[in-house]
């Protein structure tokens, strides 16, 4: 069973439980598990087959681990079968709409054949609901409004999109009276690849005035709630934003709590309880034997960590994936940061599908303070992107030679994003591959090969002595396209064996490898490289998203090739040219 299918099954369980009015935490547990599975990029089935402990996955405990195993081994989930005896499974999503309860969901199904939100949308637009008894104009309008909302809420937003929405809102709110602190917590602060909603925290002596300004934000289409210290608005894009205004003494505790993740919070709270402390969004409290509690901290986030004997943990690591143990052992990684990045090793230009010239890209990289960049336009097989054949590649080299003379301070490497053809051979003759400074290889076609064929294909490409970097290794597009079927561990092992660097592609819809897989890569001894794959000068700024995923993957500067200084990078790029000469020389001598 594929991960996507497993995730859908878990979502369905959550929906049906919700119909039955189950505990919200129970419902949320299934939704979180669904998210974990769908973002895994590695088949759960494979983990089960290998006898791995699923409880190491975020949000997967005893029960869910058993359910996942059952799903993988039998293709069914007894729990879901039981729930479906009580209500048709496909109806489950309808009850998320205000004004539709289980009864009405069944009525809509039986009378109009509506079995999904999409079908409901269609029936609404076709005016069919009005034909049903009990659905007056008012009630239909309510359903329509709520459906808009559910559709928006069901969506997750790419981090880069959320950034674009949140930055101006923060600027706007900073102009409210007496705002002393203001920041976004939640998945946004943890720099997750997507965010569900945004959780803002503020300190102000005049919360009412701040809340008023918040609810009047011009980009807000709706105010969902507006209390004295807590409010929610919905932006035009559908993104929900919560704002909590806090007293200074609780700000740090709230920042920690609302940064999450939930799994991390639960563990920290447990550690607190072991020490007789209560840790919550309100502060850190010493529990008294006689009952009651005394506040011992909460103004600063570090108070929370200090109370449980830990150093401050970077938000990107707070997923309860070992960061608490590492903090305790003093082995937290020194995470790579943007300042460590010395260059970009995958950028496109007008020679293929890029928007800007070689010179413009080089100048922009120089302005960013980079020491080097690699020009890596597509090879000929990618005809839609105007890929280069050898003749055009040579012309491009002449242009690069000219730009090298004109643009100083940044080293321009001759590279190419060479297609991995269906059989694992490369889309450029060896004599040209040998004359490139950087060879990036990638899959852009035949994405539906069997898992074995895809794995063999990529591994074969990595065995070519000219290859330096494997780009966007799983081919996923967030929210649009699943990774292709591939044994990613086999690919990573081949990369480690050949010292091929594997990419974290920083395009906001790729982020490929993902955080989880990049961490796996590091564990397998693979070097990583963070590339923007920029198709314009503007996209060079995506580096920040690649670095964020690298941090979530626990990477240090030493794990990332493009933190190397130019001479060290050159040594690495020549690592095999040197090694290759030896067998060649030996052959000549024999």
Question: Residues interacting with ligand DGT, by CB under 6 A?
Answer: 186-187, 195-197, 199, 257-258, 260-262, 265-266
Binding of residue 442 to Zn ion (CB under 5 A): yes
Q: How far is the CB of 170 from Ca ion (least distance, A)?
A: 15
Q: b/e string for 51-62 if b means 16 or more Cβ within 10 A?
A: eeebeebbbbee
Q: How far is the CB of 343 from Zn ion (least distance, A)?
A: 18
Choices 189-197, 294-302, 322-330, 438-446; region in contact with Zn ion by CB under 5 A: 438-446
**Which partner from the list Ca ion, ligand DGT, Zn ion, none does 115 bind, CB cut-off 5 to 8 Å by kind?**
none
Choices 19-27, 152-160, 307-315, 434-442; region in contact with Zn ion by CB under 5 A: 434-442
Choices 183-191, 206-214, 271-279, 493-501; region in contact with Ca ion by CB under 5 A: 183-191
Distance of alpha carbon 460 from its chain centroid, rounded?
28
Do you know the residue count of the chain?
A: 590
Nearer to Zn ion, 318 or 472 (CB): 472
Angle between the N-to-C axes of helices 358-367 and 390-406, in degrees from 0 to 180, rounded to the nearest 10 = 40
- Token pair for 199: 């959780």
Binding of residue 417 to Ca ion (CB under 5 A): no
Q: How far is the CB of 511 from Zn ion (least distance, A)?
A: 14
Nearer to Zn ion, 83 or 504 (CB): 504
**CB 105 within 8 Å of CB 132:** no
Nearer to ligand DGT, 23 or 448 (CB): 23
Nearer to ligand DGT, 29 or 500 (CB): 29
**Which partner from the list Ca ion, ligand DGT, Zn ion, none does 442 bind, CB cut-off 5 to 8 Å by kind?**
Zn ion
Q: How far is the CB of 489 from Ca ion (least distance, A)?
A: 32
Binding of residue 374 to Zn ion (CB under 5 A): no
For residue 370, which phi and psi values (nearest 5 degrees)? Answer: -70, 155
Selected from 84, 151, 197, 337, the binder of Ca ion by CB under 5 A is 197
Q: How far apart are CA 166 and CA 178, in angstroms?
A: 20
- Token pair for 322: 């070992």
Q: How far apart are CA 198 and CA 187, in angstroms?
A: 8
**Which partner from the list ligand DGT, Zn ion, Ca ion, none does 252 bind, CB cut-off 5 to 8 Å by kind?**
none
Q: Whose CA is closest to 345, among 437, 461, 424, 445?
A: 437
**CB 506 within 8 Å of CB 33:** no
**Which partner from the list Ca ion, ligand DGT, Zn ion, none does 266 bind, CB cut-off 5 to 8 Å by kind?**
ligand DGT
DSSP three-state, residue 17: helix
User: Judged by CB under 5 A, how many residues of this single chain contact Zn ion?
Assistant: 1
Nearer to ligand DGT, 156 or 457 (CB): 156
User: Judged by CB under 5 A, how many residues of this single chain contact Ca ion?
Assistant: 5
Nearer to ligand DGT, 186 or 508 (CB): 186
Binding of residue 199 to Ca ion (CB under 5 A): yes
Q: How far apart are CA 358 and CA 388, in angstroms?
A: 14
Distance of alpha carbon 136 from its chain centroid, rounded?
43
Q: How far is the CB of 96 from ligand DGT (least distance, A)?
A: 16
- Token pair for 369: 């303070």
Q: How far is the CB of 227 from Zn ion (least distance, A)?
A: 48
Q: How far apart are CA 489 and CA 473, in angstroms?
A: 11
Q: How far is the CB of 266 from ligand DGT (least distance, A)?
A: 5
Q: How far is the CB of 262 from ligand DGT (least distance, A)?
A: 4
Q: How far is the CB of 466 from Ca ion (least distance, A)?
A: 45
Concatenate the DSSP letters of all residues of 461-480 into one string. Answer: HHTSTT--EE-STT--BTTT
Nearer to Ca ion, 201 or 569 (CB): 201
Binding of residue 47 to Zn ion (CB under 5 A): no
Q: How far apart are CA 573 and CA 567, in angstroms?
A: 10
Q: How far is the CB of 197 from ligand DGT (least distance, A)?
A: 5
**DSSP H stretches of helix in 20-158:** 24-38, 44-49, 62-74, 78-86, 102-112, 117-125, 137-153
Q: Whose CA is closest to 341, among 573, 571, 565, 562?
A: 562
Q: Whose CA is closest to 282, among 325, 249, 236?
A: 249
Give the CA radius of gyration of the chain: 27
- Token pair for 23: 């505990």
**CB 260 within 8 Å of CB 321:** no
Selected from 186, 354, 415, 546, the binder of Ca ion by CB under 5 A is 186
Binding region for Ca ion (CB under 5 A): 186-187, 197, 199, 242
Binding region for Zn ion (CB under 5 A): 442
């Amino acid at each position: 069973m594929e991960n996507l299918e497993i995730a859908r099954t878990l979502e369905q369980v959550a929906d049906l439980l919700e119909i039955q009015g189950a505990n919200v935490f129970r419902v949320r547990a299934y939704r979180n598990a669904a998210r974990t599975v769908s973002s895994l990029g590695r088949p759960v089935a494979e983990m089960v087959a290998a006898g791995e402990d699923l409880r190491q996955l975020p949000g997967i405990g005893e029960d869910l681990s058993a359910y996942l195993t059952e799903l993988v081994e039998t293709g069914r989930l007894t729990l879901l079968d039981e729930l479906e005896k009580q209500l048709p499974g496909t109806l489950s999503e309808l009850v998320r709409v205000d004004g539709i309860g289980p009864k009405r969901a069944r009525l809509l199904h039986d009378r109009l054949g509506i079995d999904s939100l999409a079908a409901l949308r269609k029936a609404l637009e076709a005016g069919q609901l009005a034909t049903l008894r009990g659905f007056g104009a008012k009630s239909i309008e309510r359903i329509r409004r709520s459906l808009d909302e559910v559709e928006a809420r069901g969506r997750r937003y790419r981090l880069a999109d959320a950034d674009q929405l949140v930055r101006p809102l923060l600027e706007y709110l900073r102009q409210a009276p007496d705002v002393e602190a203001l920041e976004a917590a939640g998945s946004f602060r943890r720099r997750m690849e997507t965010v569900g909603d945004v959780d803002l925290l503020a300190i102000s002596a005049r919360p009412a005035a701040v809340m008023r300004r918040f609810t009047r934000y011009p980009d807000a289409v709706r105010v969902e709630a507006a209390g004295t210290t807590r409010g929610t608005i919905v932006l035009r894009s559908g993104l929900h934003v919560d704002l909590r205004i806090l007293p200074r003494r609780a700000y740090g505790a709230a920042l920690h709590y609302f940064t999450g993740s939930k799994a991390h919070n639960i563990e920290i709270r447990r550690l607190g309880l072991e020490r007789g402390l209560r840790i919550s969004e309100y502060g850190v409290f010493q529990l008294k034997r006689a009952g009651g509690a005394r506040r011992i901290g909460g103004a600063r986030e570090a108070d929370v960590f200090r109370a449980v004997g830990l150093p401050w943990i970077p938000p990107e690591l707070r997923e309860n994936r070992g960061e608490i143990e590492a903090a305790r052992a003093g082995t937290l990684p020194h995470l790579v940061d943007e300042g460590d990045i010395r260059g970009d090793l995958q950028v496109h230009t007008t020679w293929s599908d890029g928007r800007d010239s070689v010179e413009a890209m080089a100048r922009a990289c120089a302005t960013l303070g980079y020491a080097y960049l690699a020009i890596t336009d597509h090879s000929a097989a990618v005809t839609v992107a105007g890929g280069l054949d050898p003749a055009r590649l040579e012309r491009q080299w002449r242009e690069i030679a000219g730009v090298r003379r004109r643009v100083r301070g940044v080293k321009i490497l001759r590279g190419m994003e060479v297609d991995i053809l269906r059989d694992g051979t490369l889309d450029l003759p060896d004599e040209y591959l040998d004359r490139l400074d950087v060879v990036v290889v990638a899959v852009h076609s035949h994405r539906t090969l069997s898992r074995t064929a895809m794995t063999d294909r990529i591994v074969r490409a990595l065995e070519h002595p000219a290859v330096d970097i494997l780009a966007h290794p799983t081919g996923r597009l967030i929210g649009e396209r699943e990774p292709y079927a591939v044994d990613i561990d086999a690919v990573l092992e081949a990369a480690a064996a050949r010292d091929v660097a594997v990419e974290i592609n920083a395009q906001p819809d790729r982020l490929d490898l993902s955080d989880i897989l990049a961490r796996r890569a590091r564990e397998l001894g693979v070097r990583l490289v963070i590339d923007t794959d920029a198709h314009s000068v503007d996209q060079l700024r995506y580096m920040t998203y690649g670095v964020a995923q690298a941090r979530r993957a626990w990477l240090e500067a030493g794990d990332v090739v493009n933190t190397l200084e130019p001479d060290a990078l050159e040594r690495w790029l020549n690592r095999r040219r040197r090694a290759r000469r030896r067998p060649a020389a030996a052959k000549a001598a024999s």
